[in-house]
Amino acid sequence: MLKARTPGAMLAAMPLRTRPPARFRRLAAIVLGGRWGVRVLPVLALAALVVLKVPAALAFPYRVDVGATTVYAERPVGAAIVPVLARADRLLAASPIDEPGLRRQIVLTDGGWRWRLLALNLHGAVALRRPFSDVLLFNRSDVARDRVSNGAAISGTRTLSGTIAHETVHLLVARRIGEWRAARLPVWKREGYADAVAGETSIDPADEARIRARDPHAPVLAYYDGRRQVAAALRRNGGSVDALLAD
């Protein structure tokens, strides 16, 4: 009868001349399982869950609670955040899928290490929402000026209030149709509807022709074009957002 061998046992059984260095054996054991994997992987998974789901774990120095919204920030926000959230909620109120009083965590960064750790491979974004959570992350945030930016010279700055509305729409859509269906929506619907509610895109209309001439497939154009496609689709279906999301 063949006995199953753990990755650690298989590595140990290799001839000494062909065995990889100890550090590689440890890495393999972590990736494949075995003694190191059993001990380390759960810890790493828990750490990732805490960081991605609970921004407070990164020791943000400032926190403000406004109704059901919790704001974490790297700089003092004070009362200046109240009108920003109020404008975002007014924009959201125009959507039939809005849920007033919806709980959300808004994380305002200065674009430094906390942003890079939370955004991972999407650190070039202006903002993003973590799937399966109510965490909304924002790049270089300026509450007093109601602005958020990724630092790009063209199409890199939006209103913070409009972007809060945009990211909240992603949360609302996921709650409406489910995370998996929301993730499978075409980009023009997913981002176009969020921008339609926000009432803005990252592109200044004056820059559209220049961006399109330089790169017809620039990702930011998906937002600009998507918003127009969504407006046309809603006109055709009588304004039904549920029909838009169901197609």
**Sign of torsion over alpha carbons 65, 97, 120, 148:** negative
Write the CB contacts of 143 (distance below 8 Å, at least 6 apart in sequence).
73, 75, 77, 80, 81, 84, 108, 160
Model-level pTM? 0.79
Question: What integer best gives the mean pLDDT of the chain?
Answer: 83
């149709």: which residue's tokens?
A: 177
Provide the token pair at 69.
């919204």
Instruction: Note whether 190 and 182 are within 8 A (CB).
Output: yes
The pLDDT tens digits for 21-70 are 565 555 555 455 555 555 555 655 555 555 555 666 677 899 999 999 99
